[in-house]
Amino acid sequence: MATKETSSLHSVVGLLCLLCLIHLSLAYSLKNCSIIYQENPSAEVALDCARRKLVTIPDDLPKHTVMVQLGENVLKKIIKDDFCDMSKLSLLNLTSNEIASVEDGSFTDLVSLKTLDISSNKLTNLTSNMFQGLSNLIELDLSENSITFIHSSALQPLVSLQTLDLNENGLKEVADIEPILLLPQIRTLRLTCNQFSSFETNDLPLNLSSSLKVLGISSFQLETFSIATPIFPYLQKLDFSGCGQQYSELQWDIPDKALLRNITHLYLTHPGLSFEDFQNILQSFESLSHLRLAYLDFEKGLLTTICQIQTLRKLDLFYSDLTSLSIEPCSQVTEIDLTLNTITELPKGTFQSMKHLRSLNVSLNSLTNIPYDVRSLEGLEVLNLNGNLISKLTCEDFEQTNHLAELYLNYNNIDNLEKCVFESLTNLKILDVSNNLLQAFGNTFTTSLQKLEVLDLSHTVLTVVRICDFQDALKQLDVETSFFGREKCNSSSELNNLESLDIQFKLCNYDNNLEILHTTSQDDFIHLKSMKRFTVICNNADQGFNTYKAKASSFRPLTFLLRAMENLDTFRGVHVHASHVGTFQFNSQLKSLTLAKTDLSDLNSKFFLSVPNLQSLDFTENNITSLEFLVQAELYALRYLKVTDNEINVIDDSVLKSLPSLTYLDLSNNKFTCGCSNSGFIQWVKNNKQTQVVNAHQYKCSFPVEKQGTFLLDFDIQPCMDDGRFFFFISSTCLVVLTLLTSFIYHFLKWQLVYTFHLFLAFLYDSRKGKKQDPHQFDAFVSYNVHDEDWVYREMLPVLEGEQGWRLCLHHRDFQPGKPIIENITDAIYGSRKTICVISRHYLQSEWCSREIQMASFRLFDEKKDVLILLFLEEIPPHHLSPHYRMRKLVKKRTYLSWPQAAHPGVFWQNVQRALQTGDAVAENTDLLTGT
């Protein structure tokens, strides 16, 4: 009992402490960063602190963060305390700041860091202890700084480093990079655009051997490149890319071909190399498979030299002044990339014998036709012609390219797609015709391209697109049109596999769209069962795609399409008026809803009742003035809520209470009132532990006028509390604590309380009467239950009063009427020498009777007088007494007589007489009077 009470006491104390702690701990909304929302609720914390004009690292980054984006701020230095205790951090991005110094030991605690990006800063000097502690770092980006000096021990801690990017720095001497080459795990080193005037391995220890696989090196001034020692036995890729177009002579010195035997990838985009230079360089390699060249002059037959490399598989030619070229002899090549030249034509024969060609990229050139040879490239799988001037496709263009799987024709001038053009492309999966002048495509997509899965028709000038214009294999369709619907569709195509549909309407004019989206009857219902993502964008800013303002009897085109998408997961509408209550009535699976740039001021909470699974809601720019509509929306699963750029003044507490799962709330750019009407919200932002209020510290006041421009969270809510609310808060807190305590005490200390109460009564009695030493009015007070009255009057009274002559007090007979019962009992017990309790089951159940026992036993306790005589009328097994454990204790210790156990009534009454005769002193061994 005692231990139970103590532990309960501990838990109450603990509870109270917990309440204090919750109040004292830090808020969940960060001052200068936001926690990136992730669909998986148990994902680890990732922070976005980029582009916030930060001058120093914020001091409230949660210690268990795994990723921090701090790019594009104005940080000037990193100091020791900036990242202390962040032992879980795995990625730190400090790109595009003004960091000129990193204090020694700043990263010591980052034992889990794998990626560190300090590119585009102002570092000049890698100091000795700068990277201390980064033993797990794998990737380090220091490009675009002004590093001229690397301390010999600066990189020593980086025992796991695999990739180091030092592009665009000021390194001058090869000896500077020695510590890098000695890193045990180093695989990739980028040194493009530094200030080496020569790169000679003879400047390094002769026995040095590095694990590098990829080396990038170049410089404006590079004049000598010499590898004369077996320093790079594992090197596979040498990137000799230039820095812009500056011309320089290059002396290339590789005395032993075996030294570069394992290089397979060579990028040689160094401007100004002569034909002889190229020939010289290419001769150093034995097993090139990927060659990238740029700034070339082809007139001297360079291609012939290149095509003699039998191991070559991939050839890239960039930035060269080619109007046309012939690569015919390179029949071993499978991939050709001719991006960004000035090619106007690839005449017949260019690729004629290239039977192995699988990928051809001629994007960003000036072609006006599909190259003639494409039609015969039977093995071609990927063709990229984006960004040319092609206007016409002919029926022969793809005659035999029936292995083609991906075709990119975006950003051209194509205005029409004849049915015959794609007839051979029976394996095409991806077709991009976006950003063309396309006006029509007839039945192209229904008669050919049976395997087409992804079709991009966005940014075109199409006017009519119908569901029956496509085949069942289609999974993803992006389209811009004036009308989208099912008019005059009589094919059975239902786009059963369509998962993603993105429609941009040129002009969302209700009356015009209505016509085309019309369907004749409800029976003619379409099924888009696989649809997961649906986006509708109206490109006209003024008029919404109006489903709501139509008369009730009118057809609602958007609702009609949505009705077919019973498994829809994500809907996004821009300039789309879709706030009618029934809009999503058939989309109960919807998890993510975005409505932007429309008027949602009339939104009703019933709107959400059909989408109970909604997890993410984005209502950007909708003229919303209040979030009241969420109160009855029953969005119990909602985790992400973004209502930025609206007209909200006040957030009511009831809104916050109605969203139990909310973890991310963004209310940036609203028109907050800084007054007591928002004090509840302000307090919640500062104290709640579940919901991040994104950028809350930057929210500004719009009202009242005198507070305009000040910060919402700076508003002092104390005066609001004082006007009654604070009192209410304190008093309700007290009430709660009091209730807790009372119920605790009642539960665990009930007996002690009653006991104390009676002691108090006894004390009162003592001080009133006891001290007078009244001679006892009665010999015994008889306490019994009415059910046993019969026995008392028939059996007990005749013997004790009649035969033995005791004066007894019976409450029916002797209690003073009109006196409180408890006082009568007290008087009776203290006015009698003894108290006889007639114990039966009824007696034990009766509240008053057990009080009499209690009182008498207090007298025993209080006056040290043994006044109790227990007469058991029935056999009551001890375990039945256990609820009345006080009684059990008494029975164990005190006089008791059992009527049923008595051998003879005479003996029983004799024992009672003896008990009544005994003195008041507490006898130690009174256990004998059992009557047996």
Ligand X SMILES: *[C@@H]1O[C@H](CO)[C@@H](O)[C@H](O)[C@H]1NC(C)=O
Q: Could you list the residues that contact ligand X (CB under 6 A)? A: 31-32, 50, 54-56, 58, 69, 71-72, 93, 95, 115, 117, 125, 127, 149, 205, 207, 233-234, 262, 597-599, 623, 697-698
Q: Which residues contact 167 (CB under 8 A, 6 or more apart)?
A: 143, 144, 190, 191, 192, 193, 194, 216
For residue 209, the minimal CB distance to ligand X (Å) is: 7
Of 649 and 926, CB closest to ligand X = 649
Q: How far apart are CA 660 and CA 847, in angstroms?
A: 47
Of 127 and 426, CB closest to ligand X = 127
DSSP class of residue 230 equals S
Q: How many CA atoms lie within 13 A of 875 on its CB side?
A: 4
Q: Which residues contact 107 (CB under 8 A, 6 or more apart)?
A: 83, 113, 116, 130, 131, 132, 133, 134
Of 108 and 824, CB closest to ligand X = 108
For residue 116, the minimal CB distance to ligand X (Å) is: 8
Q: Token digits for 394?
A: 């002919």
Of 71 and 485, CB closest to ligand X = 71
Q: Token digits for 691?
A: 């919901």
Give the amino acid at 788: D
Q: Kindly state the helix (H) or strand (E) to which residue 92 belongs, with its residue range.
A: strand 91-93
For residue 128, the minimal CB distance to ligand X (Å) is: 8
The residue behind tokens 């214009």 is: 469
Cβ atoms within 10 Å, residue 258:
11
3-state secondary structure of 98: coil
Of 334 and 598, CB closest to ligand X = 598
For residue 647, the minimal CB distance to ligand X (Å) is: 7
Alpha-carbon distance values, 325 to 306, 338, 341, 423 (Å): 13, 10, 11, 29
Closest Cα partner for 770 from 895, 865, 852? 865
Q: How far apart are CA 501 and CA 532, in angstroms?
A: 8
Strand partners, 535: 502, 572
Of 537 and 870, CB closest to ligand X = 537
For residue 109, the minimal CB distance to ligand X (Å) is: 19
Of 127 and 135, CB closest to ligand X = 127
Q: Tell me if 104 sits within 8 A of 129, measured CB to CB.
A: yes
For residue 212, the minimal CB distance to ligand X (Å) is: 11
For residue 207, the minimal CB distance to ligand X (Å) is: 4
Of 159 and 389, CB closest to ligand X = 159
- Per DSSP (E only), the strands in 636-775 are 640-642, 664-666, 672-673, 692-694, 701-703
Of 92 and 374, CB closest to ligand X = 92
Q: How far apart are CA 209 and CA 727, in angstroms?
A: 76
Of 288 and 479, CB closest to ligand X = 288
Q: Which residues contact 364 (CB under 8 A, 6 or more apart)?
A: 339, 340, 386, 387, 388
The residue behind tokens 């919901």 is: 691
For residue 33, the minimal CB distance to ligand X (Å) is: 9
Q: How far apart are CA 929 and CA 537, in angstroms?
A: 99
For residue 286, the minimal CB distance to ligand X (Å) is: 10
Length of the chain: 932
Of 93 and 679, CB closest to ligand X = 93
Residue whose C-beta lies closest to ligand X: 71
For residue 236, the minimal CB distance to ligand X (Å) is: 8
Phi-psi region of 539 (alpha: psi -120 to 50; beta: other; left: phi over 0): alpha
Of 30 and 354, CB closest to ligand X = 30
Closest Cα partner for 514 from 539, 487, 543? 487
For residue 665, the minimal CB distance to ligand X (Å) is: 17
Phi, psi of 790 (to 5 degrees): -55, -50
Of 543 and 588, CB closest to ligand X = 543
DSSP 787-839: GGHHHIIIIIHIIIIIIS---EEEHHHHSPTTS-HHHHHHHHHHTEEEEEEEE
Residue 301, classified by CB atoms within 10 Å of its CB into exposed (0-12), middle (13-18) or buried (19+), is exposed
Of 137 and 421, CB closest to ligand X = 137
| Helices 726-768 & 2-24 angle (0-180, nearest 10) | 150
For residue 49, the minimal CB distance to ligand X (Å) is: 9
For residue 74, the minimal CB distance to ligand X (Å) is: 9
Of 55 and 740, CB closest to ligand X = 55
For residue 674, the minimal CB distance to ligand X (Å) is: 15
Cβ atoms within 10 Å, residue 311:
13
Of 233 and 582, CB closest to ligand X = 233
For residue 178, the minimal CB distance to ligand X (Å) is: 11
CA angle 770, 775, 781 (to 5 degrees): 85
For residue 599, the minimal CB distance to ligand X (Å) is: 4
For residue 68, the minimal CB distance to ligand X (Å) is: 10
Q: How many CA atoms lie within 13 A of 50 on its CB side?
A: 15
Q: Which residues contact 862 (CB under 8 A, 6 or more apart)?
A: 759, 762, 763, 766
Q: Tell me if 22 sits within 8 A of 651, measured CB to CB.
A: no
Of 150 and 808, CB closest to ligand X = 150
- Per DSSP (E only), the strands in 240-309 are 251-253, 265-268, 290-294
Q: Token digits for 656?
A: 């916050």
Q: Tell me if 282 sits within 8 A of 255, measured CB to CB.
A: no
Cβ atoms within 10 Å, residue 348:
12
